[in-house]
Amino acid sequence: MTKQSSDDPQIEPFKGPAGGWGSVRSLADILPREHLGPEGYRELARQNKPDGFMCVSCAWPKPADHHPAEFCEEGAKATAWELTRYRTTPEFFAEHTLTELRGWKDYDLEQHGRLTHPLRYDPDTDKYAAVEWEAAFDEIGGALKRLDPKSVVFYSSGRTSLEASYMYGLMARMFGNQNLPDSSNMCHESTSVGLKAAIGVPVGTTQLKDFKETDAIFFFGQNVGSNAPRMLHDLRDCRKRGVEIVTFNPLKERGLERFTDPQNPVEMATLKETAISTQYHQLRAGSDIAAIIGICKFLIDWDDLAKADGDLPILDHDFIAQHTKGFEDFAAAIRRTEWADIERETGLAREELEASARIYAKAKAVMAIYGMGITQHVKGVESVRMIVNLLLLRGNVGKPGAGPTPVRGHSNVQGQRTVGITEKTELVPVEKLEAQYGFKAPREKGLDTVETCRGVIDGSVKAFVGLGENFLRAVPETGRMEEAWPRLDVSVQIATKLNRNHLFAGRVTYLLPCLGRIEQDAQASGPQAVSTEDSTSCIHGSRGKAKPASPYLLSEPAIVAGIAKRILDDNPKVDWDGWVADYSTIRDAIEETYPAIFKDYNKRLFTPGGVWKGNKASERIWETPSKRAEFLTPGDISATGFKDADGRYRLITLRSNDQFNTTIYGYHDRFRGIKGTRDVLLMHEADIAAADLAEGQIVALESDADDGVHRRRNGMIVTPYDIPRGCLGAYYPEANVLIPVEHHAEESHVPAAKSVPVRICP
């Protein structure tokens, strides 16, 4: 096993573009690192293509007219990570106690390789030992059935296929709860709540074809070069047509600066780079509402002037009158906001916002692309709504080349919601499910992620079943969560690799290994396919062909069925075994529940480019209470939810270019020039001097929430970085110990991981 030490930090600015030779060099390392030979290349060639498998990394759409290689460096890492030749076997667990493994780093745990056997934790030895599947299901089922259904949580991450997700949600409801938190609760739930309220759909309105018709792209808080790199091709093509790209991000992210297409021989040979952003505004964390208010202020002023002078209007008054509600209040609030407040909050000069407003005013069709820099704030929902406000001013929703474009995270996170993974009753056709399966579905709202954390800490949650996650690492408040976890009666994790969550046991604890999406899933009727929905609402079939990591693995649908059969009474209307034998029958059931979206599901499964599920707002049909698109008058100019104070910083928790969420692929954040460590504390040089610190000094961070809880992270290396003053950067998940569980977006409960109040302790 190769272990990468993290005690040789090297920090120097990276000068290359996103993509380019750096990407090719990195790619060349990826397969050998996991000891993969030709089979690795064979799988990469099938990635994201019709009749291939859909990438297990991000949710960016898979085009019908695909590139010869329709994967990026990050996608290749994800594939290699799953296909690795390394194995974590029962012999490994015989040698290591969980107490010892808790001293290992996230990287070392997962890098050790794929889990091979179902495992049961033995508190007497403090070790996992192999068990038979049937025995595991029996004990899990028995233990869960002894509990009040309301105290049991069924978490899943958005990687889980539509088929497994549908079964999982149904199992929870038949068991008697809607405790179905998922990764969306930590991610784009602010989008689901904000867009639904504003335009009547919980998802973005654009598709890939809109990149061909847009005039300008406004980019907020999404790191495309690391987290959705295939979008760089679309952005590069936009730039070639002269499309303006205006970016708002506290950090200068390389993928938003310049790109060399590694698949273009001419670009590679000539080192030709495409500049991506035409304007780059390094605003302070949590100040997007203020920045957009500034832009709107110019637009509204110019429109007032045009009206007075009899010139052509700046705003689309016909659209506003015909399609929207709340404009007058909104405009009045914008007019009232003082420039001094906007400049102080954003750290940007008025002229910079004027330059952005000019581009917006000139463009005929504007897309607004955004990610976690928007959603993960106390005012995350308002931030999303502020983006919509901006778009509505010139009718930039529901026309070609325009619209909100949230970039979803996990490869099927949007799809999970489509098929019933949600704690909210109003998002599921409960009556339909009741008729289809002959049971009484719960109406009481279930627990989301934040509520689950609260429940684990206060003891009201007694059992946790996790499908494809590292919950204990991804959530806020990891210190108190780790302390509380052993009080659970039941902890069941369904996973491909060992992670830190698995090292915290409850009274009955199982670690169940499953097939990954790239692997062949053979069932009674033959090899199976699954499906996923991408960020633009297109549904794709996915077929795994690689040899499974171990003969003892079960598929996710088979594991869900195994548990369901033990915790539910027999019901002739649900044939769990039949579903597992032939997944096309699960799809028939999904089609019956959701006939409009999944019409001819099995027939259309492998449609190139996917099957678009439709989007009312993109046709300007607004399914809001007022039947109009709604402006929201912002309440607070800052999205952070706390006041600035002396010595208090806004901490941004970041992903590196060498990780997928809690999965750490290595210690090289190439684009940021950080190598060999994840313990950096990114800080403005002037702030370092003002705080009397020195580059390389080791400090601690403490959370600065006044709730009486002491939260601290030691061993952070002060690292000068191009980041706005008053803001700090540190990596997620290591920094999660600093986030109070109650520091979350108000309406959506997304942990506010992009502006955490902290202090530095030298």
Ligand X SMILES: Nc1nc2c(c(=O)[nH]1)N[C@H]1C(S)=C(S)[C@@H](COP(=O)(O)OP(=O)(O)OC[C@H]3O[C@@H](n4cnc5c(=O)[nH]c(N)nc54)[C@H](O)[C@@H]3O)O[C@H]1N2
Rule CB under 5 A: which residues touch Mo ion? Answer: 187, 409
Query: Contact letters (x/-) for ligand X, 301-340, by CB under 6 A?
Result: ----------------------------------------
Residue 712, strand partner residues: 702
In the complex, least distance from residue 516 CB atom to ligand X, rounded to whole angstroms = 4
Among 214, 227, 535, 593, the residue binding ligand X under the rule CB under 6 A is 227
Record the tokens describing residue 88, joined without a space: 């974590």
Phi-psi region of 715 (alpha: psi -120 to 50; beta: other; left: phi over 0): left
CB nearer to Mo ion: give 128 or 732: 732
Among 363, 753, 758, 760, the residue binding ligand X under the rule CB under 6 A is 753
**CA-closest candidate to residue 182, choices 466, 586, 406, 374:** 466
Query: Contact letters (x/-) for ligand X, 557-596, by CB under 6 A?
Result: ----------------------------------------
Q: From the list Mo ion, ligand X, none, which binds 381 (C-beta under 5 to 8 Å, kind-based)?
A: none
Q: From the list ligand X, Mo ion, none, which binds 196 (C-beta under 5 to 8 Å, kind-based)?
A: none
Q: What angle do CA 15, 668, 515 make, to 5 degrees?
A: 135
In the complex, least distance from residue 703 CB atom to ligand X, rounded to whole angstroms = 12
In 10 A of CB 566, how many CB atoms?
A: 18
CB nearer to ligand X: give 291 or 484: 291
Q: From the list ligand X, Mo ion, none, which binds 754 (C-beta under 5 to 8 Å, kind-based)?
A: ligand X
Rounded to whole angstroms, how far apart are CA atoms 18 and 576? 46
- Asked if 436 and 592 count as a contact pair (C-beta separation under 8 A), the reply is yes
SS3 759: strand
Site for ligand X in 443-502 (CB under 6 A): 467-471, 474, 494-497, 499
In the complex, least distance from residue 722 CB atom to ligand X, rounded to whole angstroms = 11
Q: From the list Mo ion, ligand X, none, which binds 660 (C-beta under 5 to 8 Å, kind-based)?
A: ligand X
Residue 543, strand partner residues: 529
In the complex, least distance from residue 752 CB atom to ligand X, rounded to whole angstroms = 9
Rounded to whole angstroms, how far apart are CA atoms 563 and 554? 12
Choose the binding region for ligand X from 244-252, 340-348, 536-544, 669-677 (rule: CB under 6 A): 244-252
User: Using CB atoms within 10 A of its CB, is residue 714 exposed (0-12), middle (13-18) or buried (19+)?
Assistant: exposed
Rounded to whole angstroms, how far apart are CA atoms 720 and 689? 10
Among 52, 113, 181, 286, the residue binding ligand X under the rule CB under 6 A is 286
CB nearer to Mo ion: give 409 or 740: 409
**CA-closest candidate to residue 236, choices 248, 222, 224, 223:** 224
Phi-psi region of 126 (alpha: psi -120 to 50; beta: other; left: phi over 0): left
Question: Does position 410 bind ligand X by CB under 6 A?
Answer: yes
- Asked if 716 and 730 count as a contact pair (C-beta separation under 8 A), the reply is yes
Rounded to whole angstroms, how far apart are CA atoms 85 and 80? 9
**Residue number, nearest CB to Mo ion:** 409
Query: Contact letters (x/-) for ligand X, 511-530, by CB under 6 A?
Result: ---x-xx-------------
Q: From the list ligand X, Mo ion, none, which binds 226 (C-beta under 5 to 8 Å, kind-based)?
A: ligand X
Rounded to whole angstroms, how far apart are CA atoms 331 and 293? 10
Q: Using the structure block, give the residue that is written with the tokens 């010869």.
A: 68
CB nearer to Mo ion: give 49 or 410: 410
In the complex, least distance from residue 528 CB atom to ligand X, rounded to whole angstroms = 14
Among 285, 331, 490, 629, the residue binding ligand X under the rule CB under 6 A is 285
Q: Using DSSP, how many helices (H) and how many strands (E) does the chain show?
A: 29, 34
Helix (H) or strand (E) holding 345: helix 339-346
In the complex, least distance from residue 584 CB atom to ligand X, rounded to whole angstroms = 21
Rounded to whole angstroms, how far apart are CA atoms 758 and 728? 9
Q: From the list Mo ion, ligand X, none, which binds 177 (C-beta under 5 to 8 Å, kind-based)?
A: none
Across 308-343, b (16+ Cβ under 10 Å) vs e yields eeeeeebbbeebbeebbbbbeebbebbeebeeeebb
CB nearer to ligand X: give 484 or 756: 756
Residue 704, strand partner residues: none
Among 221, 294, 380, 720, the residue binding ligand X under the rule CB under 6 A is 221
Helices (H), 394-499: 413-418, 430-437, 449-458, 471-474, 478-484
Site for ligand X in 189-208 (CB under 6 A): none
Record the tokens describing residue 61, joined without a space: 């759409």
In the complex, least distance from residue 39 CB atom to ligand X, rounded to whole angstroms = 18
Rounded to whole angstroms, how far apart are CA atoms 224 and 222? 6
Rounded to whole angstroms, how far apart are CA atoms 744 and 740? 8
**CA-closest candidate to residue 199, choices 397, 364, 383, 368:** 397
Size of the site for ligand X (CB under 6 A): 62
DSSP sequence for 250-272 = SS--HHHHEEE-TT-HHHHHHT-
Q: From the list Mo ion, ligand X, none, which binds 295 (C-beta under 5 to 8 Å, kind-based)?
A: none
CB nearer to ligand X: give 652 or 674: 652
CB nearer to ligand X: give 214 or 662: 662
Site for ligand X in 339-368 (CB under 6 A): none
CB nearer to Mo ion: give 414 or 555: 414
DSSP sequence for 611-662 = EE---GGGGT---STTSSEE----S-S-SSSS---TT-EEEEEE--TTEETT
Among 169, 294, 373, 557, the residue binding ligand X under the rule CB under 6 A is 373
Question: Does position 27 bind ligand X by CB under 6 A?
Answer: no
In the complex, least distance from residue 743 CB atom to Mo ion, rounded to whole angstroms = 18
DSSP sequence for 389-407 = HHHHHTT-SSSTT-EEEE-
Q: From the list Mo ion, ligand X, none, which binds 373 (C-beta under 5 to 8 Å, kind-based)?
A: ligand X
CB nearer to Mo ion: give 187 or 539: 187
Rounded to whole angstroms, how far apart are CA atoms 717 and 95? 34
CB nearer to ligand X: give 441 or 492: 492
Choose the binding region for ligand X from 24-32, 397-405, 626-634, 647-655 (rule: CB under 6 A): 647-655
SS3 274: strand
- Asked if 535 and 414 count as a contact pair (C-beta separation under 8 A), the reply is yes
In the complex, least distance from residue 443 CB atom to ligand X, rounded to whole angstroms = 27
CB nearer to Mo ion: give 409 or 562: 409
Among 58, 300, 632, 637, the residue binding ligand X under the rule CB under 6 A is 58
Site for ligand X in 716-735 (CB under 6 A): 732-733, 735
In the complex, least distance from residue 654 CB atom to ligand X, rounded to whole angstroms = 6
Choose the binding region for ligand X from 335-343, 356-364, 646-654, 708-716 (rule: CB under 6 A): 646-654
In the complex, least distance from residue 117 CB atom to ligand X, rounded to whole angstroms = 15
Site for ligand X in 154-193 (CB under 6 A): 157, 159, 183, 186-187
CB nearer to ligand X: give 277 or 496: 496
Binding site for ligand X (CB under 6 A): 57-58, 74, 110, 157, 159, 183, 186-187, 220-223, 226-228, 248-251, 253, 285-286, 288, 371-373, 376, 407, 409-410, 467-471, 474, 494-497, 499, 514, 516-517, 556, 652-655, 659-663, 732-733, 735-736, 739, 753-754
